[in-house]
Chain A
Amino acid sequence: MKTLHANLSKEFLSHRKDADWHNDTLWFLRKKRDYAKDQLREWEQLRQAASEIKRHTLSRLPHYLEKFEQQASQNGMKVKWAWDGQEVNVLVTKILRENNVTSVVKSKSMLTEECGLNHHLEKQGFEVVDTDLGERIVQLRQEQPSHIVVPAVHLRKEEVGKTFHQFLNTEVGNSDPSYLAEEARNSLRRDFIKAEAAVTGVNFGIATNGSVVVCTNEGNADLGVHSKKVIIHCMGIEKILPGLKELSVFTRLLARSAVGQPITIYTSHYKNPRQYTKEYIIIVNNLRTEIYKDEGFREALKCIRCGACMNTCPVYRRSGGHSYHHTVPGPIGSVLAPFYNKEKNKDLPFASTLCGSCNHVCPVKIDLAGLLYKWRQKLTKETSQAVEKTLGFKASTELLKNKTVYKMAGKCARLKISSFVLKSSYNPWNKGRKFTDLPKETFREWYKRSNHEE
């Protein structure tokens, strides 16, 4: 009855040292985040404000999107709409072809990752280079990012050293982080010079002035945008904010939640294209309206992709991002994934203890544990379930609601034979644990015996 997530986690955990490192590294980020939030007395008010702004914006999403489109077009941006991932890919290809572009630098965007843009462009013969360092590492290895903020956190520096040696010709066995970073920078610099177009993701779209805001720590989006004549920003429909005043709440929350920094190093506003530059904004739906339509899950669209829920999640930290087998991993990923494929991702809402820590760190106060709980109810009914699981829970339901059966079963369990079964190695509970010694009598029996009843 093991799920895909459970199997992949087990595999991840079997490399004990690496798994420990993963856990410790992300816990370090969580601690930095705690320290950063403790510096702000108004932290909870900020979260509340962010949550309400997002709720308000979502409640008038079409209005703000239209306003944004209108403003951005007035500014000279070429605004396009894409219904799904495929349409994004086709649109980008078309733009690149029209402008005779063959190579592209990209700055990190989970949205284009979601659409499989890299893969699509490469198949069409374009050269695509991811310019965020972590993203570049996983790109070279032909892997998916395992975290939305630190995409290569599943790798240790030795592995990065090997990868760079293989693809960037660095020294054998050298895994000194400064050396590797320097070499990556040199190689990326060549890519930046060579490329003819830049693609970026979008953190926030500002409805009042039509600008897009991109936050990076490495400045790689800016290097692309400032040096290219063809620029494409890909923005999910949920990224919209009413105005700059609202944005100020989010710039204070984003980096603190993500890695404990007071602010992202580069928060760039792109509003008017430079002369001789063609700048596009592609506004992408890709199933977001499905989530939007479902009132019970709509709040998942509040997410600003800070990654805090991943850093705090004790399951994510111990099982690694790839165990979630979906573009966005961790708690929010598990909420989004079933929208993309119910059957394939039905295990993910169960890959949580529902401890609720994610709810508490989420800067926009998404009730992640509540949404996972909700998915569990839906998925149990709407997807195929292992027969033994359904039967098992059906049996427990009957057992726990019927006093006579319950008492009898309890009595049986106290008999030696059942106790033997409970403690045997066939009982899945006993993997890594020992079953507790059964008491001689239940509370009920004691209560009765000690004259509490007539």
Chain B
Amino acid sequence: MKLFTFKGGIHPPERKELAEDKEIEVFAAPKVVYIPLIQHIGSPLDPLVKVGDEVKVGQKIGDSKGFMSAPVHSSVSGKVLKIVKHPFPVNGYANSVIIENNGEDEWIESKAVDDYTKLSSEELLGIVRENGIVGLGGATFPTHIKLNPPKDKVIDTLVINGAECEPYLNADNRLMIEYGKEFVEGVKIILHILGIKKAVIGIEENKEEAIEKIQNLVANEDGIEVGVLKTKYPQGGEKQLIKALLDRVVPSKKLPSEVGVVVQNVGTAKAIYDAVVKGKPIVERVLTVSGLGVKTPKNLLVRIGTQFKEILESVGIDEEKTEKLIMGGPMMGLAQFTDEVPVIKGTSGILALTEKEMNSYESRSCISCGKCVSVCPMNLMPLMYAKLARFKEWGEMDRYNLMDCIECGSCQFICPSNRPLTEGIKIGKAKLRGMKRK
């Protein structure tokens, strides 16, 4: 069989085995949920409720008129306790609605659609937005914007990212295995919204069960096919995925729409199905709790707003050994300073990492081995960034195409000297953005 892939990349230890065969368990809704009023890339939302209000599951509690936004909904029924700054897994603190669960699980009235094919793209995009759907792979880009590409771009193919190339994570894998039907329906709804016929679902070779399941499900679907990808990181990078599956190259600094493609994540497709067919906004998501610091790694269906702490306590955490707490995967995930942060829409995983699996190593001088250059999936020269950042040569970093970096971390993973490459890159990008704004 032909395996699709791209040039460069790395093979970190997968550690999928910790949880890949664990069926998704429903995690009981907690007593209190902490729902941040920003769970997307874009501007924060305004609260639509006040302290003391009674809310139901699925009720919209925050929205914004800003273009780049998606509303948030209550994940439990109960009473609004507070609206305050609370630890937030993306950066520090965020204004959050804190709701006490009354345990009734009362839902709002469903706005399910009987036959989505009778609705126009605009109507469906409205439903997608109203249900707060954002990219569930972790990037949390508002989906209604992504599914509405510029009118001058002709889209012909939908690419579904089922690569899940980050080590440890199994959320998308389990979704495809256990909710394959709903997922495929979601893909069909997206095709309808885009008004196109062709979809390719890219899945890495190491997810045999998911590949088989989805291949059977799409066997009789015209235009939807599965592309088996080589297991390699970052196979799920948007540009890498498009190159691997369609052999199309997204030009530097351009979006996939430039080559006629829209990319969506597995979880997002399932969420679109839930929103349209069941009338359910995003109030919960599937995530993987893993890492060698976790006693029984699992895949869980968790309410948005559940604190990491409660999840970690239930699966058992070895506090002694755990050095880092990560939201997301070990390659691109975010290190947390506290376990009081809540699960948000972008939480694909919660990892408790030990010294043993991180392989920490004191940073040394660059020995110019060029390994970072050979693994960079964007063909950049990462070793230059650490050097240039040290001398504050931001303009020079731009000349080395810094802005094309997808921050996959492959360069720093492979570096025998453990140079702070991604740190230099992140600082450089922030400085350059600041310079360009002026």
A and B held together in a complex: no
Interface residues of B (CB under 8 A from A): none
